[in-house]
Amino acid sequence: MNVINGAVTAIFNVLLTPLEAVGWMFSLIIVSGIFGVLALVIFKHISNQKGIKAAKDKIKGHMIEIRLYQDDLGQVAKSIGKVLFYNTKYIGLNFGPFIPLMFPFALVAAQMVVRYGFDPVPIEAQAGSLLAGEGITLKVEFDEDHKANAREVQILLPNGVEQVSKVARIPSKGIAVQELVATAPGTHRITIQVGETTEVKLLHAVDPAAEEPAARPRYMQPERTGSFLMSILWPAEDTVAEAGISRISFNNADIPTAYPERDFGWLPGSGPVGVLLWFVVFSMLFGVVALKPLGVQI
């Protein structure tokens, strides 16, 4: 999955550059619209268009029968049964072709989330000024067969990241945690060592008080995962594959992902949920507009 994610990310880096020059929201709208139209084109070629049209016509015909023969309860009952039958057939004809579209939908939607769903964490001047629970918690989780590896975890912090607490290791639960804070802007590489195995988790930070803030990272995600399915949702960093680590994640007491959710300005919503919502909405809007020109039965 890392190869696929890497290739998709590289393609989006190239394609989105001119769009993001106008604005990230413009980029989200255009990508959503293009995906909606392309999904319709693909749907047209992999679905039974004649069958869908026939089912719709049958439903309309039997609905008219119900209206015309409303005084004949027997005929009405038969017509209702036929409406339900063809409605089920219609749903099946539409649902089947959508299944192969789910994977490209997930790939594109995930790219939108990691690019536009979050803001970098704000820096703190001094880690010593924070109380327990006010920093960012880095959590390393192990799978069921490697819980004992939690006792070997060492977390190495780069310049610009300081600890708020020491590493807490809980082998019985297969987790190790440390509270930390970013004290300098930039992209920080936090190293997690488990025996001879080394993994890295990126932490993106920004100084909100700077007159000229550093350039915003192109993409960021709050976790790395060892799961194939979850790796589809978090494509910006490779999956964790060593020492039985199942997940490396950030969170804090106020924000489950540690990264603040990005504000959408004039659009309602924010963060990953907002990105997914508007990705679906704009995909559907562009798709509805393109239905007749493309001659798609849906």
Per-residue pLDDT tens digits for 270-289: 889 999 999 999 999 999 99
Please tell me the distance from the alpha carbon of residue 280 to that of residue 98, in angstroms, as a whole number: 14
Please tell me the distance from the alpha carbon of residue 216 to that of residue 24, in angstroms, as a whole number: 12
Question: Does a structural domain hold residue 267?
Answer: no
Residue 191 is predicted with a pLDDT of 95
Question: Does a structural domain hold residue 266?
Answer: no
Provide the terminal-to-terminal Cα distance of the chain, rounded to the nearest Å: 32
Burial environment of residue 131 by CB neighbours within 10 A (0 to 12, 13 to 18, 19 or more): exposed
Question: Does a structural domain hold residue 98?
Answer: yes
The count of structural domains within the chain is 2
Which residues are paired to 202 by β-bridges?
Answer: 189
CB neighbours of residue 210 within 10 Å: 10
Which has the higher per-residue pLDDT, 194 or 130?
194
Residue 281 is predicted with a pLDDT of 93
CB neighbours of residue 111 within 10 Å: 24
Judgement on whether residues 135 and 110 belong to the same structural domain of the protein: no
DSSP letter for each residue of 161-185:
EEESS--EEETTTTEEEEEEEE-S-
Judgement on whether residues 235 and 284 belong to the same structural domain of the protein: no
Would the CA dihedral through 157, 162, 166, 171 be positive or negative?
A: negative
Which has the higher per-residue pLDDT, 98 or 29?
29
- How confident is residue 253, by pLDDT bands cut at 50, 70 and 90? low
Which has the higher per-residue pLDDT, 254 or 15?
15
Question: Does a structural domain hold residue 177?
Answer: yes
Residue 98 is predicted with a pLDDT of 84
- How confident is residue 254, by pLDDT bands cut at 50, 70 and 90? low
Which position has the token pair 């493309």? 294
Judgement on whether residues 42 and 167 belong to the same structural domain of the protein: no
Judgement on whether residues 20 and 130 belong to the same structural domain of the protein: no
> Which pLDDT tens digit goes with each residue over 176-216?
999 999 999 999 999 999 988 999 999 999 887 776 666 78
Alpha helices in the chain (DSSP H): 2-22, 24-46, 49-68, 73-98, 102-116, 228-233, 271-294
In sequence order, the 6+-apart residues with CB closer than 8 A to the CB of 208 are 122
Query: What value does the mean pLDDT take over residues 97-122?
Result: 91
Judgement on whether residues 161 and 186 belong to the same structural domain of the protein: yes
Please tell me the distance from the alpha carbon of residue 285 to that of residue 74, in angstroms, as a whole number: 42
Question: Does a structural domain hold residue 75?
Answer: yes
Which has the higher per-residue pLDDT, 170 or 263?
170
DSSP letter for each residue of 112-131:
HHHHHSB-PEEP-S-GGGPP
Residue 129 is predicted with a pLDDT of 61
Judgement on whether residues 78 and 131 belong to the same structural domain of the protein: no
Judgement on whether residues 33 and 61 belong to the same structural domain of the protein: yes
Question: Does a structural domain hold residue 62?
Answer: yes
Judgement on whether residues 128 and 248 belong to the same structural domain of the protein: yes
- Over the chain, what is the mean pLDDT? 87
Please tell me the distance from the alpha carbon of residue 20 to that of residue 35, in angstroms, as a whole number: 17
- Is the pLDDT at 130 greater than 70? The verdict is no
Please tell me the distance from the alpha carbon of residue 159 to that of residue 69, in angstroms, as a whole number: 80
Q: Residue 23 — left, alpha, or beta (φ > 0 → left; ψ -120 to 50 → alpha)?
A: left
Judgement on whether residues 86 and 8 belong to the same structural domain of the protein: yes
Question: Does a structural domain hold residue 268?
Answer: no
- Is the pLDDT at 10 greater than 60? The verdict is yes
Q: What are phi and psi of 194, to 5 degrees?
A: -130, 100
Question: Does a structural domain hold residue 48?
Answer: yes
Please tell me the distance from the alpha carbon of residue 7 to that of residue 274, in angstroms, as a whole number: 25
- Is the pLDDT at 70 greater than 80? The verdict is no
For residue 221, give the nearest of 187, 255, 193, 259 by alpha carbon: 259
**Residue 117: CA count within 13 A, CB half-sphere:** 24
Judgement on whether residues 8 and 95 belong to the same structural domain of the protein: yes
Residue 57 is predicted with a pLDDT of 85
Which has the higher per-residue pLDDT, 228 or 278?
278
- Answer whether 57's CB lies under 8 Å from 23's CB: no
Query: What value does the mean pLDDT take over residues 245-267?
Result: 79
Judgement on whether residues 131 and 222 belong to the same structural domain of the protein: yes
Judgement on whether residues 159 and 284 belong to the same structural domain of the protein: no
Show the domain range for 101.
2-115+273-294
- Is the pLDDT at 102 greater than 60? The verdict is yes
123-132, 149-158, 201-210, 260-269, range with the lowest pLDDT: 123-132
